[in-house]
Amino acid sequence: MHDGCTGPDAGGQAVVNKVRMMGFSRMPIPMALELTCSNCEKPFTMTHFETSCPECGMVYGVTPCSANNPGAVQAAGIGY
């Protein structure tokens, strides 16, 4: 992992904060990821580096260097 990329062990809020700080939160990820929300357990599609579950508002983030790995997506909290 290169300097400036927060890994999956950093926690959801740290990942989302990093993506926001880097200016990537509103940018689309290279390939959409099909996920299941950890809060409401509804399926949703992650399309941006920061995406909210449309059912409950749980915020998810993934860093650019991990955007192709669904296992690297981190939940930050509802409405975070």
Q: Does any domain span residue 40?
A: yes
pLDDT tens column, 31-45: 999 999 999 999 999
Residue 71: which pLDDT band, with cuts at 50, 70 and 90?
A: very high
Q: Does any domain span residue 3?
A: no
The pLDDT, as a whole number, for residue 5 is 67
Instruction: Name the token pair of 41.
Output: 């357990």
CA nearest to 35, candidates 25, 48, 23: 48
Q: Does any domain span residue 72?
A: yes
Residue 3: which pLDDT band, with cuts at 50, 70 and 90?
A: very low
Q: Does any domain span residue 1?
A: no
Residue 56 belongs to domain spanning: 8-78
What does the pLDDT average to over 4-29?
Answer: 86
The pLDDT, as a whole number, for residue 70 is 93
Domain count, the chain: 1
pLDDT tens column, 48-70: 999 999 999 999 999 999 999 99
Q: Does any domain span residue 64?
A: yes
Q: Does any domain span residue 15?
A: yes
Q: What are the C-alpha distances in Å from 78 to residues 31, 51, 53, 54, 65?
A: 24, 11, 9, 11, 24
